[in-house]
């Protein structure tokens, strides 16, 4: 991004929009870093007015310590060596003499402890994005520049220890500096003249790079939910139907290890909750034989469903999306054929299509990184590990429901248990579910951590998460409701439910629980119809006998009249704690 | 105004969005309240983007009006 573009973006912010306030904590004059950070955040939050304020105090540590009681949405920390000891600052007149090095390391240790303590005092819900030093150290150590000095290595070690600590405690999101420095355009990061004349040590392109990564860490994009992959010349090298299932390869000896790396990546993503499906024009028996091979790195149980047939791939993709019950824009389709990619893209315009680059190792590495970047998660929850199994279970559920004598008898015999957790507001999975659910979503509203904290700390709040399991297995946490109780009226501002949980009457059980647990006689829904929340609109139409087009009120008697029989066992958790 | 002046006026509009178009040719650090040291450096970088040339921070103190910057740019562009 150029500075002109950045200024235009910041100036285009809607004047009366709700502000999104970020403190930029750095020990140098922020200048363009502040402009670029504002612009990148504004691009991510077009409906907010981004306000980036430099820390009020002189040093980075003081700036961070000054944020502990501030009403802000996030803190961006651009840490540089000079923040650890003034002698590491080119602008300082401090000595680079013989005794300096060991003293600098000791000072750095103390300063990093102070920064860690300041970060730990940042109110929960305020995101902290942390960029570790990106600039070169001054030539103050006794070794020649090509040799790493003991003290330099100690400094690096202290920095990484500090970063690992704040990451482990989930108090900050740490930028990957190696990736940042690799990002285009190539060129120097340090501008000595600018540093000495203006106080900004970054070249303009480097300021943009640091700002873009800090913005990503403050407002991360929603991860893609699934990858649909081709098989021949993509998941493996060779055409299985031609060379035989035993002769397709993905190993070093066959010079086809790029396919093995791709398999390993998909296996890893699957273990972390990304759905992996197959769309291949192939003979199902041949494919089954390949997946039976002992050396395959993506195990068959990590993939569901497999659409293997000779028809158009867009049709296979449609069926996979239907099984997963997610929209095309949450999915990546990978194939080695540009024609197949184009055919799928034409039918599913929102889908992200990625060409698998056979025999191009540079492009291959880029694709592996692209997939990890698109699907990677900050944290992996126990629900992530359940996701694929619950989809498989859901498919079995639907097959058996269709085969049952009546849908009613099937539900009655499902041995379902619905668990309501009234003390869940601070759990990361809850906000994650709110921010990624589209189809059963009361109004499509997304929340930053600060917004969520504000919503759930209003007077008489009610925040409940819903988990489900039945005899086919657990679905994990599948729904969240948040609002506030006003006497005999409950106002619901957020209600989401995972599409995996449809057709089990969990939504009715949730309303029943809300009426009973709060004593409310009516519920006000802050409902907004969106292009994606059709399933919720249908549910409301069934409950109210009408198609609401905006916020509406549901009376308890009205709900009782429309509520079908419910067969779940119901559990409540942490009710006492949640209600004090 | 010549082409350099028009492009420079565009830079001023980006850095000082509240400045009226008619005020730009006579703008200087004395007449524009928002023209502080940060704005001056930002202006240099915007000019670098627009004219694809490298400005020298040593010139920063002297380039304190639209007219001076305009003249500076005309000389630089002639040399180029």
pLDDT of residue A438: 86
Give yes or no: residues A571 and A428 share one domain: yes
- Domain assignment present for residue A407? The answer is yes
Task: Give the pLDDT score at A325.
Answer: 85
- Per-residue pLDDT of A399-439, as tens digits, reads 777 777 677 887 888 889 999 999 888 888 899 889 888 88
Closest Cα to residue A204, out of A3, A360, A412, A451?
A: A3
Residues 10-49 of A with CB under 8 A from B: 11, 31-32, 35
**Which candidate from B17, B37, B58 shows the least CB-CB separation from A11?**
B17
CA–CA gap between residue B70 and residue B1 (Å, rounded): 10
Which chain A positions have a beta carbon within 8 Å of B41's beta carbon? 31-32, 198, 200
- In a domain, residue A251? The reply is yes
Q: What pLDDT was estimated at residue A575? A: 52
Q: Please give the pLDDT value at position A126.
A: 87
With beta carbons under 8 A apart, name residues in chain A contacting B58.
197
Q: Do B49 and A32 touch (CB under 8 A)?
A: no
* Same domain as A311, residue A265: yes
pLDDT reported for residue A410: 79
> Tell me, what CATH number does A147's domain have?
3.40.50.1110
pLDDT number for residue A232: 95
Q: What is the pLDDT of residue A382?
A: 73
| Residue A87 belongs to domain spanning | 3-218
CA-based nearest residue to A347, from A374, A372, A308, A320 = A320
Q: Are A32 and B15 in contact (CB < 8 Å)?
A: no
CATH number of the domain at B3-79, out of 1.25.40.10, 1.10.1200.10, 2.60.40.10, 3.30.465.10? 1.10.1200.10
Residues 6+ apart with CB under 8 A from A192: A90, A201
Question: Are A391 and A343 found together in one domain?
Answer: no
Structural domain contains residue A114: yes
What the block records as the tokens of A246 is: 């035993």
Which of B17, B45, B62 to substitute to test the interface with A, most A CBs within 10 Å? B45
Q: Is residue A232 part of a domain?
A: yes
- Looking at the fold, whether A441 and A355 belong to one and the same domain comes out as no
| Chain B residue set in contact with A, beta carbons under 8 Å | 11, 14-15, 17, 37-38, 41-42, 45-46, 48-50, 57-58, 60
Of A11, A35, A197, the CB nearest to B42: A35
Write out pLDDT tens, residues B44-68.
999 999 999 999 988 888 999 999 9
Tally of domains within chain A: 3
pLDDT of residue A576: 47
Final residue of a structural domain among A218, A246, A274 = A218
Residues A81, A64 share a domain: yes
Task: Quote the Cα angle for A450-A452-A457, to 5°.
Answer: 95
Contacts of A9 in chain B (CB under 8 A): none
Residues A359, A330: one domain? yes
- From chain A, the residues in CB contact with B57 under 8 A are 193-194, 197-198
ipTM over 0.85: yes
- The stretches in chain A having pLDDT less than 70 are 56-58, 68-70, 405, 575-580
Q: Are residues A53 and A158 located together in one domain of the fold? A: yes
Q: Does A200 touch chain B (CB under 8 A)?
A: yes
Same domain, A263 and A366: yes
A381 within some domain: no
Q: What percent of chain B has pLDDT over 70?
A: 99
Residue B79 pLDDT exceeds 80: no
SS3 A522: strand
Q: What is the pLDDT of residues A125-153, one digit of tens each?
A: 789 999 999 999 999 888 998 999 999 99
Integer Cα distance of A305 and A177 in angstroms: 38
- Give the integer Cα–Cα distance in Å for A252 and A276: 24
d(CA A33, CA A307): 48
Task: Point out the residue among A3, A8, A194 whose CB comes nearest to the CB of B42.
Answer: A3
Q: Is there a single domain that holds both residue A462 and residue A359?
A: no
Based on the fold, state whether residues A50 and A67 are members of the same structural domain. Answer: yes
Nearest to A3 among B17, B38, B49 (CB): B49
């Amino acid at each position: 991004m150029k500075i002109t573009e950045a200024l235009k973006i910041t100036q285009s912010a809607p004047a009366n929009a709700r502000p999104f306030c970020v403190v930029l904590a750095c020990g140098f004059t922020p200048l363009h870093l502040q402009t670029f950070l504002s612009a990148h955040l504004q691009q991510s939050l077009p409906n907010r007015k981004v306000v980036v304020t430099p820390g009020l105090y002189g040093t980075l540590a003081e700036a961070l310590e000054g944020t502990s009681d501030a009403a802000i949405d996030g803190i961006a920390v651009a840490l540089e060596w000079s923040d650890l000891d003034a002698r590491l600052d080119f602008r300082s007149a401090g000595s680079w003499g013989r005794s300096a090095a060991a003293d600098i390391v000791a000072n750095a240790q103390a300063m990093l402890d102070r920064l860690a303590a300041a970060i730990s005092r940042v109110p929960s819900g305020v995101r902290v994005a942390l960029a570790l030093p990106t600039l070169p150290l001054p030539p103050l150590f006794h070794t020649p520049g090509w040799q790493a000095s003991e003290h330099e290595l100690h400094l690096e070690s202290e920095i990484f220890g500090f970063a690992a600590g704040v990451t482990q405690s989930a108090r900050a999101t740490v930028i990957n500096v190696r990736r940042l420095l690799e990002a285009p355009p190539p060129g120097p990061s340090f501008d000595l003249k600018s540093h000495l004349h203006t106080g900004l040590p970054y070249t303009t392109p480097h300021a943009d790079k640091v700002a873009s990564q800090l913005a990503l860490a403050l407002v991360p994009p929603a991860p893609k939910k699934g990858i649909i992959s081709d098989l021949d010349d993509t998941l493996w090298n060779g055409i299985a139907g031609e060379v035989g299932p035993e002769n397709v390869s993905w190993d070093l000896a066959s010079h086809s290890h790029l396919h093995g790396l791709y398999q390993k990546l998909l296996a890893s993503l699957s273990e972390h909750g990304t759905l992996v499906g197959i769309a291949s024009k192939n003979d199902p028996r041949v494919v089954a034989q390949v997946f039976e091979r002992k050396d395959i790195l993506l195990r068959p149980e990590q993939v569901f469903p497999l659409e293997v047939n000779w028809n158009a791939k867009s049709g296979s993709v449609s069926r996979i999306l239907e099984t997963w019950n997610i929209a095309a824009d949450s999915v990546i389709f990978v194939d080695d054929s540009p024609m197949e990619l184009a055919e799928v893209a034409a039918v599913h315009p929102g889908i992200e299509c990625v060409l698998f680059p056979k025999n191009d190792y540079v492009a291959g590495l880029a694709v592996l990184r692209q997939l990890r970047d698109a699907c990677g998660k900050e944290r992996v929850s126990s629900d992530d590990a359940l996701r694929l199994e619950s989809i498989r279970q859901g498919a079995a559920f639907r097959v058996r429901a269709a085969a049952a004598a009546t849908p009613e008898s099937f539900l009655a015999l499902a041995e379902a248990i619905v668990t309501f957790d009234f003390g869940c507001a601070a759990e990361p999975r809850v906000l994650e579910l709110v921010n990624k659910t589209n189809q059963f979503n009361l109004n499509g509203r997304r929340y930053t951590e600060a917004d969520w904290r504000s919503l759930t700390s209003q007077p008489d709040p009610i925040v409940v998460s819903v988990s489900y399991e039945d005899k086919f297995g657990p679905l994990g946490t599948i729904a969240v409701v948040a609002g506030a109780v006003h006497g005999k009226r409950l106002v619901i501002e957020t209600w989401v439910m995972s599409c995996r949980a449809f057709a089990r009457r969990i939504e009715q059980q949730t309303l029943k629980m809300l009426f009973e647990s709060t004593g409310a006689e009516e519920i006000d829904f802050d409902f907004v119809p969106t292009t994606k929340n059709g399933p919720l609109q249908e549910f409301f139409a069934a409950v109210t006998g009408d198609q609401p087009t905006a916020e509406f009120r549901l009376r308890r008697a009205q709900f009782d009249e429309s509520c079908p029989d419910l067969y779940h066992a119901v559990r409540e958790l942490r009710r006492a704690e949640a209600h004090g | 105004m010549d082409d350099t002046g028009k492009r420079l006026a565009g830079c001023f509009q980006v850095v000082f969005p509240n400045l009226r178009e008619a005020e730009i040719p006579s703008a200087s650090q004395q007449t524009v309240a928002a023209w502080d040291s940060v704005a001056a450096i930002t202006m240099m970088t915007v000019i670098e983007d627009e004219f694809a040339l490298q400005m020298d921070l040593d010139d920063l103190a002297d380039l304190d009006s639209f007219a001076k910057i305009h003249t500076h740019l005309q000389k630089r562009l002639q040399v180029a």
